[in-house]
Amino acid sequence: MATSRRAWVVWGVGLVAYIVAVLHRTSFGVSGLDASARFGISASVLASFVVLQLLVYAGLQVPVGVLLDQIGPRRLLIIGAAIMAAGQVVLAAAGSVPVAMGGRVLVGAGDAMTFVSVLRLVAAWFPSGRVPVMTQLTGLIGQLGQVLSAVPFVAVLHQFGWPVAYTSAASMSVLVVVLAVAAIRDAPDVRAVPIRTGVWGGAGRDLVTAWKHPGTRLGLWSHYSTGFAGIVFAMMWGFPFIVAGQGRSQALAGTLLTLMVLAGGVAGPVLGVLVTRHPLRRSWLVLGVVVANAAAWTLVIVWPGQAPIWTLVLLVLSLSLSGPGSMVAFDFARTFNPPNRLGTATGIVNVGGFTAALITILGVGIVLDIRTGGASTYELDDFRIALCVHYLIWVSGLVGILRARRLVRRRMAEHGVVVPPIREVIERRRRHRRSQT
Query: Contact residues for ligand LKAUPR5Q (CB under 6 A)?
Result: 115, 139-140, 143, 227, 264, 268, 323-324, 326-327, 350, 353
Task: Evaluate whether 116 touches 346 at the Cβ level (below 8 Å).
Answer: yes
CB of 153 to ligand LKAUPR5Q, least distance (A): 18
Task: Evaluate whether 335 touches 213 at the Cβ level (below 8 Å).
Answer: no
Residue number with the shortest CB distance to ligand LKAUPR5Q? Answer: 323
| Distances from the Cα of 1 to the Cα of 126, 175, 275, 366, 415, angstroms | 8, 31, 19, 52, 26
Report d(CA 79, CA 396) in Å as an integer: 35
CB of 268 to ligand LKAUPR5Q, least distance (A): 6
Report d(CA 10, CA 4) in Å as an integer: 10
State the DSSP code for 151: I
Cβ distance to ligand LKAUPR5Q smaller for residue 270 or 380:
270
CB of 304 to ligand LKAUPR5Q, least distance (A): 32
CB of 13 to ligand LKAUPR5Q, least distance (A): 17
Cβ distance to ligand LKAUPR5Q smaller for residue 170 or 321:
321
| C-alpha triplet 160, 238, 153: angle, nearest 5° | 15
Cβ distance to ligand LKAUPR5Q smaller for residue 140 or 307:
140
Cβ distance to ligand LKAUPR5Q smaller for residue 256 or 386:
256
CB of 353 to ligand LKAUPR5Q, least distance (A): 6
- Residue of 384, 354, 355, 352 lying closest to 368 (CA atoms): 384
How many CB atoms lie under 10 A from the CB of residue 379? 13
| Distances from the Cα of 22 to the Cα of 19, 145, 149, angstroms | 5, 5, 8
Report d(CA 112, CA 21) in Å as an integer: 9
**The dihedral formed by the CA atoms of 276, 282, 287 and 292, expressed in degrees to the nearest 10:** 0
Cβ distance to ligand LKAUPR5Q smaller for residue 29 or 227:
227
- Residue of 259, 382, 236 lying closest to 309 (CA atoms): 259
Cβ distance to ligand LKAUPR5Q smaller for residue 71 or 140:
140
Compute the chain's Rg from CA coordinates: 22
Cβ distance to ligand LKAUPR5Q smaller for residue 231 or 307:
231
Cβ distance to ligand LKAUPR5Q smaller for residue 22 or 187:
22
Task: Evaluate whether 356 touches 222 at the Cβ level (below 8 Å).
Answer: no
CB of 104 to ligand LKAUPR5Q, least distance (A): 15
Task: Evaluate whether 214 touches 407 at the Cβ level (below 8 Å).
Answer: yes
CB of 22 to ligand LKAUPR5Q, least distance (A): 6
CB of 334 to ligand LKAUPR5Q, least distance (A): 14
Cβ distance to ligand LKAUPR5Q smaller for residue 31 or 320:
320
What's the burial of 60, exposed, middle or buried (CB within 10 Å: 0-12/13-18/19+)?
Answer: buried
CB of 76 to ligand LKAUPR5Q, least distance (A): 13
